Structure 1
Amino acid sequence: MLHTVQGIVLRTTDYGEGNKIVRLLTREAGKVGVMARGAKKLNSRLGAASQAFTRGEYVYFRTSGLGTLSSAEIADAHHGLREDLMKSAYAAYMAEMVDRMLEDGDGSAVLFDQLAAALTAIEENKDAQIVVHIFELRMLMLAGYMPVLDTCVSCGSSSGPAAFSPQLGGTLCPNCLFKDPRGVPLTEAAWKLLRMFVGIDIRRLGATTVKPETKAVLKSILRAYMDTHIGVNWKARSFLDQMEKYPLP
Structure 2
Amino acid sequence: MARQMVTNFNGILLFRRDYRERDMLIKFLTEEYGKKMFYIRGARRRGFKMAAELLPFTMGEYVGDLRDEGLSYINSVKTVQYFEQISQDIGLNAYATYVMNLIDVAFPDNQPLGRWYQQLTSALQLIDQDVAPALIANVIEIQLLGVFGVQPELRWCAVCGRQDLPFDYSESYGGLLCQQHWHLDPHRLHASQAAIFYLRKFSVLDLSKVHSMQVKPTTTTQLRHILDEIYNNSVGLRLKSKRFIDQMGSWYQPLKPRDDDDSKQS
Q: Are the counterparts in 2 of residues 167 and 225 from structure 1 also a CA contact under 8 Å?
A: no
Distance 2:107 2:44 in 1: 26
Other structure's SS at 2:63 match: strand
Structure 1 runs of 4+ aligned residues shifted over 6 Å read none
Distance 1:176 1:17 in 2: 61
User: For residues 138-184 of structure 1, what are the alpha-carbon distances to aligned partners after superposition, in whole Å with 9 as ceiling and x for unaligned?
Assistant: 32244453321122223433343442123432112234334433321
User: For residues 64-93 of structure 1, what are the alpha-carbon distances to aligned partners after superposition, in whole Å with 9 as ceiling and x for unaligned?
Assistant: 311122222342111210110000000000
Other structure's SS at 2:143 match: helix
Other structure's SS at 2:74 match: strand
Q: Which residue of 2 aligns with 1:60?
A: 64
1:115 equivalent in alignment to 2:131: no
1:230 equivalent in alignment to 2:235: yes
1:146 equivalent in alignment to 2:151: yes
Match of 1:173 among 174, 178, 197: 178
Q: Which residue of 2 aligns with 1:19?
A: 23
- Whichever residue aligns with residue 165 of structure 2, its letter is G
Distance 2:188 2:46 in 1: 53
Q: Aligned Cα RMSD in Å?
A: 2.1
- Whichever residue aligns with residue 45 of structure 2, its letter is K
Q: Are the counterparts in 1 of residues 149 and 235 from structure 2 also a CA contact under 8 Å?
A: no
Distance 2:218 2:253 in 1: 22
- The count of corresponding residues between Structure 1 and Structure 2 is 249
**Percent identity between the aligned chains?**
29
- Whichever residue aligns with residue 121 of structure 2, its letter is A
Distance 1:180 1:44 in 2: 60
Other structure's SS at 1:185 match: coil
User: For residues 205-231 of structure 1, what are the alpha-carbon distances to aligned partners after superposition, in whole Å with 9 as ceiling and x for unaligned?
Assistant: 022221111111111112211223322
Distance 1:235 1:111 in 2: 22
Q: Which residue of 1 aligns with 2:97?
A: 92
- Whichever residue aligns with residue 181 of structure 2, its letter is C
Deviation of 1:102 after TM superposition, in Å, equals 0.8
- Whichever residue aligns with residue 60 of structure 2, its letter is G
Distance 1:4 1:230 in 2: 36
- TM-score normalised by the chain length of structure 2: 0.85
- TM-score normalised by the chain length of structure 1: 0.91
1:6 equivalent in alignment to 2:10: yes
Change in 2 beyond 3 A, CA 1:107/1:214: farther
Q: Which residue of 2 aligns with 1:184?
A: 189
Distance 1:208 1:175 in 2: 32
Match of 2:47 among 26, 43, 56: 43
Other structure's SS at 1:117 match: helix
The 10-residue stretch of structure 1 (206-215 or 47-56) with the greater mean CA deviation from structure 2:
47-56
The 10-residue stretch of structure 1 (218-227 or 133-142) with the greater mean CA deviation from structure 2:
133-142
Change in 2 beyond 3 A, CA 1:147/1:52: farther
Q: Are the counterparts in 2 of residues 19 and 38 from structure 1 also a CA contact under 8 Å?
A: yes
The 10-residue stretch of structure 1 (90-99 or 139-148) with the greater mean CA deviation from structure 2:
139-148
Q: Which residue of 1 aligns with 2:36?
A: 32
User: 5+ residue gaps in structure 2?
Assistant: 255-266
Distance 1:70 1:124 in 2: 31
1:220 equivalent in alignment to 2:208: no
- Whichever residue aligns with residue 42 of structure 1, its letter is R
